[in-house]
Amino acid sequence: MGSISLQKVSKAFGEVNVIPAIDLDIQDGEFVVFVGPSGCGKSTLLRLIAGLEDVTSGTILIDGKDGTNLKPSERGLAMVFQSYALYPHMTVRNNIAFPLKMAGVDRAEIARKIGDVAQILNLTDYLDRKPRQLSGGQRQRVAIGRAIVRQPSAFLFDEPLSNLDAALRVNMRLEISELHYKLKTTMIYVTHDQVEAMTMADKIVVLNRGNIEQVGSPLELYHKPRNLFVAGFIGSPRMNFIAGRYAARFTAHTIGVRPEHMLVSIDAGDWRGQVTVAEHLGADTMLHVNVEGIGQIVARCDGNMPVKAEDFVYLTPQKDRIHKFDQMGDAVD
């Protein structure tokens, strides 16, 4: 079991209100990602769930029971940090065994569990090494292993991949997704990286200044962002926003068009503009186009399109992919 429910949970540090009263339901077995810019309150929210911070008001239900005032160790949750927090003088085996020894589990049982976890995380050949003899990715796996052996009802990850280089991050992202598939345990994962959120989550919670802006599956957020914040945060390169008379034509204050929904042509289209930068990624090319009266627009076109800086191109927003927003920045149909 691993359902978690936040009911009107808020957090203030002294005078500073970091999380206003929020409600959130996390189902057993779900992979939930908290995503938002740095400082928006992701870690604070995770620490409230873990019990590392006290709530200012509200209730946290864990498996339907009031866990608001339980100590971290009584909540049945396991936290994995960006900084690994391994014991440097202990071998991998002893690092993983540590929580079991503390809990008084007998030696045979510890050995069996370590064997299982090492196999799941590909650490079998490294059990006798010290953390400093491991790569960053292996260290992170040890930290995850130490969480797994406790058989928590949910895993809480706080930006666990931020210290890794880009290629390794992609690998570990897949490994954590696979781990979730194998264990089917609730995971709450904090990141500022919307790509991690999109690729890993069953459910994404978009946070902005402690507020929940939207909760939904990756594709719900991509196709139906509820407001300008979510529209601009989810998707890369980010959505183009156009205000003024071009938006008024669509009876909206602002319209949004993603770069991949901007048709590019050499010959004809709605807007003519000059390419300032052409980023050739191979499979596709990102064109930064200066359109008079509108501004800088990013358009994704085929990688083979023969366009370079200073060329003129025509852009046409795909009509059925235009997002409309009112004066308050809320999406309208």
Applying CB under 5 A, the residues found at the interface with Mg ion are 43
Question: How many CB atoms neighbour CB 103 within 10 A?
Answer: 11
**Residue in the shown chain whose Cβ atom is closest to Mg ion:** 43
In sequence order, the 6+-apart residues with CB closer than 8 A to the CB of 89 are 130
DSSP 8-state symbol, 330: B
Question: How many CB atoms neighbour CB 74 within 10 A?
Answer: 11
DSSP state letters, 2-28: --EEEEEEEEEETTEEEEEEEEEEE-T
Binding residues for ligand ADP, total number by CB under 6 A: 11
Edge-first strand order for the sheet with 65-66 is 16-26, 4-13, 57-62, 65-66
| Cα gap 155→100, rounded to integer Å | 17
Which lies closer to ligand ADP via its Cβ, residue 42 or residue 93? 42
Hey, what are 192's tokens?
Answer: 């500022």
User: Which range in 35-43, 273-281, 295-303, 307-315 contacts ligand ADP by CB under 6 A?
Assistant: 35-43
Which lies closer to Mg ion via its Cβ, residue 43 or residue 95? 43
Least distance from C-beta 46 to ligand ADP, angstroms? 8
Phi (first) and psi of residue 205, to 5 degrees = -110, 110
Which lies closer to ligand ADP via its Cβ, residue 16 or residue 108? 16
Least distance from C-beta 137 to Mg ion, angstroms? 21
Least distance from C-beta 53 to ligand ADP, angstroms? 7
**E strand or H helix at 291:** strand 284-291
Exactly one of 4, 6, 18, 114 binds ligand ADP (CB under 6 A); that residue is 18
Least distance from C-beta 166 to ligand ADP, angstroms? 20
Reduced to 3 states, what is the DSSP secondary structure of residue 191? strand
Which lies closer to Mg ion via its Cβ, residue 43 or residue 214? 43
Exactly one of 1, 8, 13, 85 binds ligand ADP (CB under 6 A); that residue is 13
Least distance from C-beta 14 to Mg ion, angstroms? 19
| Cα gap 36→52, rounded to integer Å | 21
- Answer yes or no: are the C-beta atoms of 301 and 284 closer than 8 Å: yes
Which lies closer to ligand ADP via its Cβ, residue 45 or residue 252? 45
Give CA torsion, residues 40, 67, 99, 152, to 10 deg. -80
The owner of tokens 């339980």 is: 70
Least distance from C-beta 36 to ligand ADP, angstroms? 6
User: Which range in 10-18, 25-33, 249-257, 316-324 contacts ligand ADP by CB under 6 A?
Assistant: 10-18
Using CB under 6 A, which residues numbered 37 to 66 contact ligand ADP? 38-44
Which lies closer to ligand ADP via its Cβ, residue 191 or residue 254? 191
Using CB under 6 A, which residues numbered 69 to 98 contact ligand ADP? none
Least distance from C-beta 42 to Mg ion, angstroms? 5
| Cα gap 222→211, rounded to integer Å | 19
Interface ranges with ligand ADP (CB under 6 A): 13, 16, 18, 36, 38-44
